[in-house]
Amino acid sequence: MARGSFTLLYVVVLSLSLTLVALLKLRQGPPAPDVVGEVAVELMMAVPPKPEGVEALGEGDAPGYTEEGCRRSPGPLRESCFHTLALQRAERDPEGALLACAEVKTPAVHWECVADVAELRSTIDRAGAEALCETIPPKKWHDQCIFGLAMANVRPDPAYARAQCERAGMWRDFCRHDVNGEIAQVDPEAALAFCLLESGTPLQNRGCFHGLGKYLGRTDPDLALAICARAPTHEPLYPQNCLHGVGWAVAETSQEAALTLCARRAGAYADSCLMGVSANAKRFDAAEALRLCADVQTVELREKCERFAQR
C-alpha cells in the first residue's frame, strides 16, 4: 500500500466524520466540556445477535464478514456488521477497514471503529496508526485510540506503551493501570518499581498498585500477595488497592477461592480484598455484590463497598 493513498484516505474519512459530528451537534445542542470529572467504566458488554453479514469462509475457518452481507443486515445490526468487517480488514487492508468504518453512521460508534482500526494497525504501521488517532476529533475517542496503541504494544515494546499512556488524556490513569499490569505478568519487579516512583497524586498512584494486584492475581496469586506486601504503607491506599485487585482477580475464576484467600492471607487488608471480590461480583449480580459487602468489618469501607454495589 502506498503511503500517499493511505494518507488521502485519512483526509476523506476525516471529512466524512467531521460532517457527522457537525450534524450531531445540531441535534444535541452544546458539546460537553472536555474536562471529565468522574469516568465510569462499564464492566459488562451486551453481546448482540450475529449480524446477517457473517458468512462462513469454509470448514475450519473463522467466520468472515462481507460488505454485501453487511448491507443486507437490518437496523442496528448493520453498523455492528460493518464495525466487525473493519476489524477483520484492519491488519491486511487498512483502506478497506476505514471504508467499512465510514458506513458506521452513529458518531460514537464510528469513532470507536476508527480507534479500533488504529489499535490493530499499530504493531504493523506505528506511524500510520498514530496519525489515524489524530484524525479523531472527540476527546474521548482520541484518547481511547492512544490507550489502544499502548495496550497493543505493551508486550513487544513496554517503553513505547508507557509513553502512550502519558498521551492518553482522560484515560491516562486507566492506561497506566492496564499497561503496568500487563508488564507485571512478565516482569513483576519492573512493574513494582514503576509504581514506587509515585509519579502522580495518591489517587492516581493507587491505580498502579491496583493493576499490580489484579493482573498478577490472575496468573500467580502467591506472587501477587508477595508484591502487594511491598506496597508502601505511608499511603494506605496503595496496599488497600493492591489487595483489592488480588481479590477481584482470584474471584474471576472462583469466588470461593477468593473469599478464602481474603480471609486467611490478606492480613490487615482483608476488607480491601473482600471489596475486590464484591466489585467482581457486581459485574454479574449486584445483589450478590451487596451481600458480600456485609462481611466487610471496617464501617467506612463497608459503606464504600455498599455504595459501589448499589450505584
Q: How many CB atoms lie within 10 A of CB 27?
A: 7
Q: What is the pTM assigned to this prediction? A: 0.78
Q: What is the pLDDT of residue 7?
A: 46
- What whole-number percentage of the chain has pLDDT above 70? 80
Q: What is the pLDDT of residue 64?
A: 82
Q: What is the mean pLDDT of residues 48-62?
A: 38
Q: What is the pLDDT of residue 197?
A: 96
SS3 at position 63: strand
SS3 at position 311: coil
Residue of 75, 56, 77, 76 lying closest to 66 (CA atoms): 56
Alpha helices by DSSP H, 29-155: 67-72, 75-89, 94-102, 107-121, 126-133, 139-153
Is residue 60's pLDDT more than 80? no
Is residue 9's pLDDT more than 70? no
- pLDDT class of 5 with cuts at 50, 70, 90: low
Give pLDDT tens digits for 109-128: 999 999 999 999 999 999 99
The C-alpha atoms of residue 283 and residue 278 are separated, in whole angstroms, by 9
The C-alpha atoms of residue 14 and residue 17 are separated, in whole angstroms, by 5
DSSP state of 253: H
SS3 at position 58: coil
Is residue 44's pLDDT more than 60? no
Grid coordinates of 300: 467506612
Is residue 20's pLDDT more than 50? no
Give pLDDT tens digits for 297-309: 999 999 999 999 9
Residue of 238, 203, 218, 192 lying closest to 280 (CA atoms): 218
Q: How many CB atoms lie within 10 A of CB 7?
A: 11
Q: What is the pLDDT of residue 228?
A: 98
The C-alpha atoms of residue 281 and residue 269 are separated, in whole angstroms, by 19
Q: What stretches of the chain adopt beta strand conformation (E)?
A: 54-56, 63-65
Partners of 65 in the β-ladder: 54
Measured CA angle at 148 (ends 68, 16), to 5 deg: 45
SS3 content of the chain, % helix, strand, coil (to 5): 70, 0, 30
Q: What is the pLDDT of residue 43?
A: 25
Looking up cell 476508527 gives 114
Q: What is the pLDDT of residue 94?
A: 95
Task: Identify the weakest region by mean pLDDT among 10-14, 120-124, 179-183, 191-195.
Answer: 10-14
Measured CA angle at 197 (ends 249, 37), to 5 deg: 65
- pLDDT class of 249 with cuts at 50, 70, 90: very high
Q: What is the mean pLDDT of residues 131-139?
A: 97
Q: What is the mean pLDDT of residues 73-94?
A: 94
Q: What stretches of 151-215 adopt beta strand conformation (E)?
A: none
- pLDDT class of 271 with cuts at 50, 70, 90: very high
Q: What is the pLDDT of residue 71?
A: 95
Q: What is the mean pLDDT of residues 47-68?
A: 50
Output the average pLDDT for the chain. 85
SS3 at position 208: helix
Is residue 211's pLDDT more than 90? yes
Residue of 134, 142, 120 lying closest to 7 (CA atoms): 134
φ/ψ (deg, to 5) at 7: -60, -40
Measured CA angle at 205 (ends 237, 276), to 5 deg: 50
Q: What is the pLDDT of residue 25?
A: 40
Q: What is the pLDDT of residue 63?
A: 59
Q: What is the mean pLDDT of residues 70-96?
A: 95
